[in-house]
Structure 1
Amino acid sequence: MHLFRDLEPARDRAAAFRSGNGTTAILVHGDPVAERVIIEPHGPVVTIDRPGAAATGHGGNYCRLVDFTTAEVSAWWGGLPRHRAFVSRADGVVVQQINGGPAEVGVAGCTPYGQAGLILIGGLTVVAGDAAVTGERVTVRSDALVLTGPGDLVALARHSYTDLLLRHVARHAPAYLGTTQDRDGYQRTINPAGHAASGPRAGR
């Protein structure tokens, strides 16, 4: 397992943890109170607000992680992973899991609609789980799966976060761990964002 850990949320875009599948990327700040997940290159910004987290001090023991072997970004406090996210290589969508509410989920300029348990925000985001529409936001009472991207999000929402992660890792892990050597003696390794990075061969 290859990890990078930070004990504080990102203060700006430059410090946000990045992950992707080669065509779509996410920048995750890891803020327990006001999370902002920026989807690139042309996606929306998904907001996850937990006003109560400020009053409780997040429950202590905060850290945020990026796991390069899975390309998953997560934020932990109170001993649990409260927010997890990755961009699926298998399904081509951004997958997020909110653990433990209450939390308010929104997408700028989009009005949520639907019934409790399966809510659409605009045309590219679905919230599935213990959630309901509250005005211009979606209130997550405990746990919820959040999917953003093209395709049949409603069908994907029938899967659990773990199932979607395993589908993704089956494609991501070989790409991340696979290394080839070109004719000039350079090693080329696929990083978690799906871009090739080169380096000199050991011993040269």
Structure 2
Amino acid sequence: MPRAFTTEESERIRERLLLAGRESFARGGLRGTTVEGLARAAAISKGAFYRFFDSKEALLLELLAEHERAEHARIEEAVRADPARVIDVLVDGAVHAVERAPFLAVLMSEEGLRVVGSLTPAEQKDLMERDDRTIARIFAALREAGMTLDLTEDALLGLTRSLVFTGWHRADIGAGPVDAMAAWLKGALRPIPLDRQETP
């Protein structure tokens, strides 16, 4: 029977697996990443890998969850520190998301979308609602600061999701047009005082 890992060993191995996953998925996609390779990079056996994740797909989804937790926390902190910069933070974060976390491109690829499609309806719903909850907290932070945006939460959610895809295709679209669009958005969508909000 294999030796059980201590709590500290388990934490270190899990971190090594996450790091290996980030690097391997960014380099070779889902198809080019193997459980054997991930286990080797983390200095564990293939059998031990399954004590941490059910599959390489489960590791990919955990990387997404970890990235979203960190990114959402960073955005919320930045908005609370300086609410006037909310659009700058959101636009820059979305346009450069794949540059900063290249493994995200795998999730937007055909094979990544199949992984997401294999989740249960409840898991898919939770995945989609993570962004919803963050956008709602951003609007709440703006309200606390006496400000708002002249667009709905759904519109801002759609915009930020679209900008992630735009950033992913930056080379195809052209860096100049993408940068010009981002600059325009940051100038056009400034927060406004709550008392100036237009009623739909």
Q: TM-score, normalised by structure 1?
A: 0.24
User: Which of the two has higher C-alpha Rg?
Assistant: 2
Looking at secondary structure, tell me which structure has more strand per residue. 1
Looking at secondary structure, tell me which structure has more helix per residue. 2
Greater length-normalized contact order (CA 8 Å, ≥ 6 residues apart): 2
